[in-house]
Structure 1
Amino acid sequence: MERLKVRLNKPEAMIFDMDGTLFKTETLLLPVFHQLFDRLREEKLYEGETPSEELMLSCLGMLLEDIWRKVIPNHGEAVHRRADELLLELELDGLKRLDTELYPRVAETLEQLNRRGVRLFVASNGLEHYVKGVADAHGVLPFFEGLYSAGEYKTATKVDLVKLLMDNHQIGSAWMVGDRSSDVEAGKKNGQTVIGCAYAGFGQGQELAGADVLIRSFEELIALYEEAEEA
């Protein structure tokens, strides 16, 4: 792990991003992405080649409306909303059919943190049934006190989503754990410690600038928590 600032305090809660933090999203997204554009072509809503996988992966962590503006910018709101519907349908089906993966030792680490009394949450810019579906499909749903998604709460930014989560659950101190600049911003603007996940590789350049610690594997959270000082 790479320490950027010293002396972390033990948090009462940890708030996790989903894609690129807990879930190895490309194991689901890439096959679904191709299916989605096949369906859009069948429905005469899209013509031409499927956009690149690299482009789609670069959008992970964004709100869906922002993803479609970047991936299919020359199509209108109706096509974008149909893409939302298809994405959710295909993702939920894919969670049943495909061999999708969490990152190594995510389930074991969440279980250990839970045993230590850390309150665990998810804050994701994804759709509600997708976020809950991933956690359920991989057996980690029971570890979480709450799973918050922009799709469910209609928040404009992850800053707003994390604030809502913290207010609703009366959380005073938390570690925001994620892999994108939106996670760093959400943690910092809510006055919390940020743990940057540098193992997914979706972030570009300065994506995790401002994080308090960078971790290279998820299980490093246990050592970080053990070494942190009592608040």
Structure 2
Amino acid sequence: MSSIQMPEAVLFDLDGTLFQTESLLIPVHRRVFQTLREEGLYPGETPPVERLLGSLGMLLEHIWEKVMPDGSPEARHRANELLLRYELEELEAGTGRLYPGVPETLRKLRDRGVRLFVASNGLEAYVKEVPRLRGVADLFEGFYSAGEYGTASKTELVRILLKERGIRSAWMVGDRSSDVEAGKGNGLFVVGCDYAGFRSEGELEGADAVVGSFDELDGLLSP
């Protein structure tokens, strides 16, 4: 790949970019719906986990509308609570893994003076605990989540991050259309990640570069 100007900072999506989310969500999804049935909030069959994986990148309220369109507001609210609880329990138990090359590549970028951040539409505790429990939290300068900042879009979240941190040049790295929109909406160079396997066709249209594995990111940067 041809090299590109070194940015001051790189902003990463979490699910499907740094973290191999299906390795955690498959058992969590099963547990959430088992509990909803036990509590009498959702009598139906467990929806296919592919619906949940295909919704990653959305805000949580929109995720549950897609995953269980027939669910009540009470069921969706409870699903939110259970999702976070079970995600953290499973993470603590060792379930879920980063993509190959993530720790090594992040260290290379930081050693080259690049400031690293996470920008995710997820809940605050999840966005902070995944990096901590997988041993890479110390490589990041900050973690920004829709759950913490109450943002209605990733474009807004990234705008807040850039302003708070005084960043003038940055890359947005992610696997969903919301990442492309957030980057372009803030004048950033966008790198699309094409290795998660659960995005929709055409989601990375508009990205300035696309990588097929996380470690290709380092090769994009000029020496």
TM-score range relative to shorter protein: over 0.9
- The 1-side partners of 2:157 and 2:5 are apart by 23
- The 2-side partners of 1:72 and 1:140 are apart by 33
> Counterparts in 2 of 1:135-214, with a 5 A limit?
135-214=131-210
Q: Secondary structure at the match of 1:20?
A: coil
- The 1-side partners of 2:127 and 2:37 are apart by 27
TM-score normalised per structure 2? 0.97
TM-aligned CA deviation for residue 7 of structure 1: 7.0
TM-aligned CA deviation for residue 80 of structure 1: 1.3
2:28 paired residue number:
32
Q: Secondary structure at the match of 1:21?
A: coil
Q: Secondary structure at the match of 1:226?
A: coil
Q: Secondary structure at the match of 1:214?
A: strand
Comparing 48-57 with 190-199, greater Cα deviation is found at 48-57
- The 1-side partners of 2:92 and 2:175 are apart by 26
Contact 2:3 2:220 in 1 (8 A): no
Contact 1:123 1:162 in 2 (8 A): yes
Q: CA RMSD in A?
A: 1.2
Q: Which runs of 4+ in 1 moved over 4 A?
A: none
- The 2-side partners of 1:226 and 1:99 are apart by 36
1:80 aligns with 2:76: yes
Match of 1:65 among 48, 61, 64: 61
- The number of aligned residues is 223
- The 2-side partners of 1:8 and 1:47 are apart by 53
Contact 1:28 1:98 in 2 (8 A): no
What per-residue deviation string (whole Å, max 9, x for no partner) do you get for residues 50-83 of structure 1?
A: 0001111111111100000111112232221111
Q: Secondary structure at the match of 2:17?
A: coil
1:89 paired residue number:
85
Identical amino acids, percent of aligned pairs: 57
Match of 2:38 among 39, 42, 46: 42
